Chain A
C-alpha cells in the first residue's frame, strides 16, 4: 500500500506531516490542521476535505488510534494518538522523504 500512497506525493506528504505532529502527543483534527499551519509558516493549509480522509485511512492502517475526549475549551473532540506501527511508519516515511528530497536536490543542482 506504500506504493499506492506514493502515487500521490502530496497525499503522502500530508501523512508524513500528520504523523510527525502526532509523534509529539495526541491531538484532535482541528489541532493538527492548526499545528501544520503554524509549523510550516502558513505554507500548507490543510482543509478538512483532505485532513479527515487521511486520518481515517491511517486509523484503518493502525498507524494512529482515535478516541473521544474533551478539548482545551471543553468541547467533545476525537483525539488521535500515534501507535507503534505509526512510529515505524513515520521512520519509513521520513527515510522515503529524505531520499526523494535528496534526489530532487541532486536534479536541481545539475545545471
Chain B
C-alpha cells in the first residue's frame, strides 16, 4: 500500500503531463458515455450533451478534488512554489548573486569546519568497537600522565579480568639498511596482544605470539603496508624472509593493513622483550598500555578493578608502587581531547559568521519588500491566504539557501582539501578529515534552517503589511517606517556579532604575538639540529659510541660556517623529556613515593656555549669531565632558587635516582623546554653523551640551510650507514610549536574579516535605504537653509547610533563568550582592555565609513529636484 502510494507520488512528479492527460481522458470518457446513454434513451444529441454537462458539474473543480485527494498534495504545492521561487531569483540576478555569495560563504565555512569537527570529534575511531578501547595512564600522586614499567604491566595484564586485551607499546626508532638508502623509521615495541586491542589482523602473515615476548632480543618484525610497498614493492614472498633492522637480521612475519594507523604512525613493529634484563625495574616507567574492555563491562568497573590491583602491588612493592596506580580514559578522549576546546571555539565562531550572513540576507530581502508588496496584495486579492503567502516567501528563501548550500559545499570541499594539504601535524586524526554523508546532511540541514531563519522575518513583515495602501498606485514610500526599524535592529545585531568575532580574533593574535616574543632562554637563530641513532650492533660499548660522537663533533665543528657543535639527550621544544629523582646530600631524605624530580638532560662539552645558555654562577663542565662522565652537575636558576634560596648551591651534592652523587659546579640560565608558553621547569645537566641516541646541535655563522649538506657529509664520512633524521633549524621547531595557535588565528581572523565586511555592507544598505526614503526630507531641509555638513551629520549620526548600540551589545557578549578561550590564550586576559577598545574603535570607524558613502549622496540632493519629485 505504501508502495502503490509511493509510485503514485513519483508518477505525479516525473510524469505530470501523463497523469493530467489521463485524468482528463477519464472524465471525457465519462461524459461521452453519459451522452451516449442519453441519446440511446431518445434525446437529441444537442440536448443530451447539454444535460450531461449540467449533470457532470464543474469539470475543473472535479479535477482539483481528485488532485486534492491524492497523497502528498503538499508536494504539488511545493513544486509550484519552488519553480516560482526559481523564477523570482532569476528575475533579480543582482540580488540573487549577492545573497547567494553571502550564503555560500557562510554555509561553506560552516561545512568546512563541521567536516573537521565531524572527522575528529564525532566520528568514532577507525577501529572495531572503538568505544571499548581505553588508553591507560600511569598515575602518581602528583602526575596523572605517567608511563608504566614492564613488571607492573605484566602484573596488571595477568591480573585484570575485565579486559578482552591488555597490551602495551613503546615507540622506538629503528634504522633499516639493505634494499637501498639507510632509512630511519618510526617503530614500536609491542606486546603480543597489541593488534587484538584494535581488532585488526595483518593483511598477510601473522601477529606476534606470546612466546616471542619472552625472547631477549626479538628476531621477528611486522611491517606497515606503506613500508612494505615502498621498500619491498609489495612482495608477498617477503613473509618469512629476513630484513636488516638496526644492523640485525629480523624475520618478517606480517604486514598490517593499509588503513591501520595509531599513535605516531609506526612502520615497523617488534615484540617487546619483557624478559630482557633491562626490563625488570619497577621504577622504570616507559611503557604505554592500551586495552580493550570486555563488552559486558564499563570503564568505571574496569577502573575499580585496576585500583584493586594497584593496592595489591603497593602492598607488595612499597618502594616503587606505594603511590602508583593506573587511570583509564576512553581512547578517543586521549587522541582528540586537546583539540576539543579549539574546535568548539571555531564552531561557535563560524556559526556567528553564518548568523551574520543570515542577517545580511534578511536585510536584503526586507529592502526588496516594497516591490514585493504589490505582488502579495494581488495574490491576497485573488484569494491566497496569509499562510499561503508566507509559505511562498519561505520557499523562496529556502530555495535561495539551498542554492547557497550547493555553493557552500563546493567552497568547503576546496577549503577542506586545502587544510589537509597543509599537513597540519597538530591536528589529531588529520588524515581522516573528509566530507562524508554526515557532513552533507549537516549542510542540508543548516541550509534549510538558514533559509527559514533569514526568510521568516521578511515573510511575516510582508504578510502583515497593509495591502490596501500598497495597492493604491503611487502610495507614499515613507509608509515603511516599521520595516526600517526592523532593519536597523538587524544591523545592530550584526555589528554586535561581528565585534564578538573580531575580539576573539584580536585576543588570539595578541596571545600569539606575546608568545612569539617570549625569550626561550637560548639563541634560536642559526641553530641547526638533527638526531643521530647509532645501531648497537655496530657500536656496542660506551667507549665506541663516545669515540664516534667525538669524531663527528670535531669534524663538524671544523667546517666553515660552523661556530660550534654539541650533543644533548633531549632537545628543547621538540617534545623530548626525561626526569630523574634526586636527593640533596645532607638534607633529610624523602619518603618512598614522595620523592622530588627535576628534568634531566645529558649533555656533551660546549653545549651551553653552542646553545647560548648563560652560565650564571660557577663554571661549565671541563672537556675532561664531559668526556669521562664525571660526577658533576649543573642546575638551572629555577632549581637553584627553589632548593637553595639563601645558599650558594655550588659545592652541594645531588644523589640522582638513588645511584650516584653529583657535585653542583655551576648554575645556568632557565630555558623553556616544553613549550614557549610554559614557565621553565627545574632542570639538571649531567655529562656525558654515550647513549645510542643523541641530538646534534650546530651553531652556524651563516644561514643554517647552507651547511646541512656538509654536516651530513661529515657524519657519513665517519659511518656511511648512519641515518640522519629530524634535520631542522630551531626556528623551524619553534615555528611548528606555534602552528596550532597560528592556525586558530588565521581562521578566527578570516571569520572576523568576513563578519566585519558583511556588517559594513549591512550598515551601508540600511543607511542608503534610509537616504533614498528621505530624499524629500533632505531636499526640504536644504531648501530651508540646512548646510551640506548638517545633512551629512544627520545621516551619519544614524549609522553611528546603530554601530554604537551594536558595539555595546557586542562588548557585553564578547566579555561573556571569550571566557571559554582562557586556555587558548597566553598572558592575555579574556577581557583584555586593549583588544576590546581597539576592535570596538576599528568597527566604529568602519561603520562611519560605510554610512559616509550614502550620507555624501544625501548632501548631493538638489533641493528643487527632491521637492518636485512629489
Question: Could you list which residues of chain A lie within 8 angstroms of chain B, going by C-beta atoms?
Answer: 28-31, 33-34, 47-50, 52-54, 56-57, 59-62, 71, 73, 75-78, 85
Contact = CB atoms under 8 A, between A and B. Distances in A.
Contact of B61 (A49, A75, A76): A49
27 contacts: A28-B30, A28-B33, A29-B26, A30-B30, A47-B57, A47-B62, A48-B27, A48-B59, A49-B58, A49-B65, A52-B62, A52-B65, A52-B66, A53-B62, A53-B65, A53-B68, A53-B69, A59-B4, A60-B8, A60-B70, A60-B71, A61-B1, A61-B4, A71-B33, A75-B36, A77-B26, A78-B29
Interface of B: 1, 3-5, 8, 22-23, 25-27, 29-30, 32-34, 36-37, 55-59, 61-62, 65-66, 68-71
B56 A47 contact: yes
A66 to B, nearest CB: 8
Residue of B8, B22, B33, B37 contacting most chain A CB atoms (<10 Å)? B33
Nearest to A47: B57
A49 B55 CA distance: 10
Nearest to A11: B69
B12 to A, nearest CB: 10
A30 B29 contact: yes
Contacts of A33: 30
Contact of B29 (A29, A50, A62): A29
Residue of A48, A53, A60 contacting most chain B CB atoms (<10 Å)? A48
A61 B5 contact: yes
A78 B26 contact: yes
Given A56-B66, A60-B70, A49 B29 contact: no
Given A30-B30, A48-B57, A48-B62, A60 B5 contact: yes
Secondary structure call for the A interface: helix
Contacts of A52: 23, 26-27, 62, 65-66
B26 A49 contact: no
Nearest to A30: B33
Contacts of B70: 56-57, 60
A6 to B, nearest CB: 16
Contact of A77 (B29, B56, B69): B29
B70 to A, nearest CB: 6
Nearest to B40: A73
Given A73-B36, A78-B22, A48 B1 contact: no
Nearest to A31: B33
A85 B4 CA distance: 11
Nearest to B4: A62
B36 A49 contact: no
B862 to A, nearest CB: 64
Contacts of B32: 75
A73 B68 CA distance: 32
A56 B58 CA distance: 18
B74 to A, nearest CB: 15
B36 A47 contact: no
Contacts of A78: 22, 25-26, 29
B11 to A, nearest CB: 10
Contacts of B58: 49
